[in-house]
Structure 1
Amino acid sequence: MHPTKKILLLGATGRTGNEVLHLALRQGYQVNILVRDRSKVNYDHINLQVFEGDTRIQADLCQAISGCDACISCLNISRKSDFPWAALRTPRDFLSVTMNNLIKTYKENDIKRLVFTSAWGVGDSRPYIPGWFVWFIDNSNLSPAYLEHERQEAMVRNSGLDWTIVRPVVLTNRQTFKTPKAILNFEQKPGLTISRKETAQFILAALEDEKYVHKAPVIYS
């Protein structure tokens, strides 16, 4: 796999995406970001280019991905607060519409590498999460996010792209750092939490690691 030099980062103003942004720039990547509101990016860097637009509009994605070798997406279905029953801030089909347009954009621009965040408990990992966690997902406003992650995972698996699906366990804002761990099967039980900083570290490492192509690692600390 050729080293990635320039990436499009989606979700850069979110808590995990912001960690990826700062780490990517520190590691020397050139980074394009596509955001709904440019005023939310209070950061300037010689290797950062900010595009304003909507990820659900293919023309906006095409403009932002120009010259890039890969894309990292940290997009999610967000709520108006961290309270699990809080009202949704984003449309229920936000991830699947974005992924549909992103796949088309990739093919038009001859790009292959895609890394994006999903969640532990999505798809074939669902039978291996604790029963209380299943109840919590199904009976709160976490459910729309998990359903959308499942849809975008299914879409990308049949896309022909060199994808990696990163499934973090419960994300925290812990500032202390431990080396993130990954499992590729369900024989081993992960820890229950991982920090956003650790998640960002893993995402950028996985971007350059062939062993994670067409894999969906569950990550934890």
Structure 2
Amino acid sequence: MFGASGGTGRLLTAQAAAAGHQVVAVVRDPARVTAADVTVARADIMDPATFTAAIRGCDAVVSLLGPGPVRGETTLRSRGTRSIVTAMRDAGVRRLVVVTAAGHTTDGDGPLTRFVLKPVLGALLRESFADMRRAEEVVRHSGLDATVVRPPRLTDGPRTGTYRTAVGHNVRGGLRLSRADLADFLLRCADAPVGEVVAVAY
């Protein structure tokens, strides 16, 4: 798993371990991963050679890479995703789950979201959203068994296991989702891919 030290990553790590999965957390700073029963590998996300051995033998890879700087040009997600794909090919791992966001597309949205909310959000996060789209292109051409997951605004609510999904477009009216439920869905995707691009929201 990449991004295991973030909010959703910590929850996914705990849920996966509780379900009996062996979790490998690939991080820049191992001290930030405090969960028990987790194998921690220190690596540079921009250098596939530093983590290829760590993911070899894994059934699936989940990427929760952060967005990088909110303002200004960023390539963190796209370059990191490209590194992950390269390492997976070298390690012989086929199943990939990558998290981006529902904010960078209006497919499936209602008029208010499409013409009022998203234009404002897109202006504020223009560079970050552009990098998400580049990352999705990397996944699309990876040749792997990949699922891109697009959640909306994330909250610190509980894990309910009850949410809506939509393949190929956003969940209409789905403006929020708890990190715990995103982790729940990602665990399901890691067990069995559900589509090339899937949105998840309440």
Q: How does 1:125-204 map to 2 (within 5 A)?
A: 125=107, 129-140=113-124, 142-175=125-158, 177-186=160-169, 189-204=172-187
Q: Percent identity?
A: 26
The 8 Å contact of residues 121 and 127 in structure 1, kept in 2 or not, is answered as: no
Please give the per-residue CA displacement for 1:153-201, whole angstroms capped at 9, x wherever unaligned.
Answer: 0111111100000011111111262512101254961421110001011
Q: Which amino acid aligns with 1:42?
A: T
Unaligned runs of 5+ in 2: none
Q: Per-residue deviation at 1:126?
A: 8.2
Q: What is the SS of the residue equivalent to 1:50?
A: strand
Following the alignment from structure 1 to structure 2, what is the Cα–Cα distance between the partners of residues 176 and 115?
A: 20
Q: How does 1:112-127 map to 2 (within 5 A)?
A: 112-123=94-105, 125=107
Equivalent in the alignment of 1:216: 197
Q: What is the SS of the residue equivalent to 1:125?
A: coil
CA distance change for structure 1 residues 202 and 124 in 2, over 3 Å: closer, same or farther? same
Q: Per-residue deviation at 1:137?
A: 2.4
Following the alignment from structure 1 to structure 2, what is the Cα–Cα distance between the partners of residues 27 and 44?
A: 13
Equivalent in the alignment of 2:80: 98
Equivalent in the alignment of 1:5: none
Q: What is the SS of the residue equivalent to 2:157?
A: coil
- TM-score of the superposition, structure 1-length normalised? 0.81
Q: Per-residue deviation at 1:127?
A: 6.9
The 8 Å contact of residues 4 and 13 in structure 2, kept in 1 or not, is answered as: yes
Following the alignment from structure 2 to structure 1, what is the Cα–Cα distance between the partners of residues 33 and 191?
A: 26
Match of 1:39 among 14, 23, 31: 31
Please give the per-residue CA displacement for 1:80-136, whole angstroms capped at 9, x wherever unaligned.
Answer: xxxxxx667xx8111111111111111112211001111113357387643233233
CA distance change for structure 1 residues 176 and 51 in 2, over 3 Å: closer, same or farther? closer
Q: Which amino acid aligns with 1:22?
A: A
CA distance change for structure 1 residues 134 and 115 in 2, over 3 Å: closer, same or farther? same
The 8 Å contact of residues 180 and 199 in structure 1, kept in 2 or not, is answered as: no
Equivalent in the alignment of 2:19: 27
- TM-score of the superposition, structure 2-length normalised? 0.88
Please give the per-residue CA displacement for 1:45-94, whole angstroms capped at 9, x wherever unaligned.
Answer: 2xx10011211111122132122121001112145xxxxxx667xx8111
Following the alignment from structure 1 to structure 2, what is the Cα–Cα distance between the partners of residues 26 and 166?
A: 22
The 8 Å contact of residues 28 and 42 in structure 2, kept in 1 or not, is answered as: yes
Aligned residues: 200
- Answer with 97-106 or 121-130: which moved more: 121-130
Equivalent in the alignment of 1:12: 4
Q: Which amino acid aligns with 1:219?
A: V
Following the alignment from structure 1 to structure 2, what is the Cα–Cα distance between the partners of residues 16 and 171?
A: 9
CA distance change for structure 1 residues 186 and 149 in 2, over 3 Å: closer, same or farther? closer
